Amino acid sequence: MAPANIAVSVDRFTLERSTLPNGIPVVNAYAPGLREKTKPLADRLPEVMDFLTGRYGPYPFDSTGNVFVQVNDDGPGTSPQSMPVYLGARSGFMDLLQVVHEHAHQWYGVSAGTRLPEDACLSECFASHSTWMWEQAKNGVDLDARYRAIIDEKRSDPEYWREPLYQAGESPGFRMYDRGPLALHALKRQIGDRSFDRLLRQWAQQNKHSFVSWPRFEQLAQQISGQDLTAFFAAWFRGTTVPPEKFR
């Protein structure tokens, strides 16, 4: 276990234990006053895990669950190994998409951990994109329409494109959370659904319990798709302006 993936939560928790259909143990922990609000989210964990294993392959750990606490209303969701901790569980930001996001990190960011800070898109871009896939699968969201609408809105906004998602020696900024899933959807459009789905699963499984780098992901994407994606990755992940029309 990487030290960054360790968390200690101390409170007078109410604990609920169960198992997933495949037998993996589940522990949900509720700090005082939070069970009523958050139990409906915790109860959907089997559905969330079924969805994520369908995209990324077998779950990489031997237990799972959630910890709901209230540090402050701005407290983020976090993803310690096997059991996400939600630090603002009483706030209006606590919803099912946050649960999907943090559990997606178990594959992308925790099991396949980032080697260097500059590789952080391999964690946050993919966890954020997981919520896009969830919304498409569960709510019928048209992701192509969302993608086109965002590009139309942001194409003339240089600030939106200013920070690259990957730059050697530099940590990417908060654009991982919004431009990250947009770029991954562009990759899906570029290489096709079948290659993209294979890429997501193969990356998570072949890098289980290891540290990974963004250039290696680019190599695997080219290998699986059979395409030269150098210019595509330069535009979407390394660039600082709106990608050219041929890659949109």
Q: Which domains does the chain have, with CATH numbers?
A: 3-106 (1.10.390.10), 114-247 (1.10.390.10)
Q: On the CB side of 81, how many CA atoms lie within 13 Å of its CA? A: 15
Is the predicted pLDDT of residue 16 greater than 90, yes or no? yes
Q: On the CB side of 52, how many CA atoms lie within 13 Å of its CA? A: 28
Please state, in angstroms and rounded to a whole number, the distance separating the CA atoms of residues 113 and 207. Answer: 9
Is the predicted pLDDT of residue 71 greater than 90, yes or no? yes
pLDDT digits (tens, 9 = 90+) for 99-148: 999 999 999 999 999 999 999 999 999 999 999 999 999 999 999 999 99
3-state DSSP percent of the chain in helix, strand and coil, to 5: 50, 15, 40
H/E segment holding residue 217: helix 214-225
Please state, in angstroms and rounded to a whole number, the distance separating the CA atoms of residues 26 and 17. Answer: 6
Q: Is 17 helix (H, G, I), strand (E, B) or coil?
A: strand
Q: What is the pLDDT of residue 126?
A: 98
pLDDT digits (tens, 9 = 90+) for 38-52: 999 999 999 999 999
pLDDT digits (tens, 9 = 90+) for 183-206: 999 999 999 999 999 999 999 999
Percent residues over pLDDT 70 in the chain: 100
pLDDT confidence band for 175 (50 / 70 / 90): very high
Please state, in angstroms and rounded to a whole number, the distance separating the CA atoms of residues 78 and 125. Answer: 15
Q: What is the pLDDT of residue 1?
A: 86
